[in-house]
Amino acid sequence: MLNSVEIQKIIPHRPPFLLVDQILKLEPGVKAVGLKNVSINEPFFVGHFPDYPVMPGVLIVEAMAQVGTVALLSMEDKKGKLALFAGINGVRFKRQVFPGDQLRIEVELKKIRASIGKGEGRAYVGDNLVVSGELIFAIAQA
């Protein structure tokens, strides 16, 4: 298990854009499972939406990418590099996410080549699927 300080040693994201609080399971180059505790104190809730706070879907996808990036950049030959979005395919939103929810994010890396990686991501609140889709990463020098 990794806490937020340990996560920041692997990926470059920092608050308020670090969207993963813990990594529960990690198999470098294979998969990772992370948690995001969604708090009403998140800066995006100020404007999204003041009378109906709902976590933006794009940030849930970003949280999935960050979990996948932990799995990718934990590989010995990828340490110290950057993982950037190269594509997002087949993303489907199934449920809204509200303050007080806890997102469990699972990303399995399907294919990794020299500078490109693909993963399948899923985010859940409890046992309910919230978002699923394919994430494509471009690996660059930091």
Active-site pick, 18, 44, 48, 104: 48
Task: Name the band, by pLDDT with cuts 50, 70 and 90, for residue 64.
Answer: very high
Reported as a single tens digit per residue, the pLDDT across 84-129 is 999 999 999 999 999 999 999 999 999 999 899 999 999 999 999 9
Domain 4-141: homologous superfamily in CATH: Hotdog Thioesterase (3.10.129.10)
Residue 43 has pLDDT above 90, yes or no: yes
Task: Name the band, by pLDDT with cuts 50, 70 and 90, for residue 142.
Answer: confident
Nearest partner of 55 among 96, 13, 105, judged by Cα:
96
Counted residue by residue, the chain has a size of: 142
Q: What pTM, to 2 d.p., does this model score? A: 0.97
* 48 assigned to active site: yes
Domain spans in the chain, listed from the N-terminal domain onward: 4-141
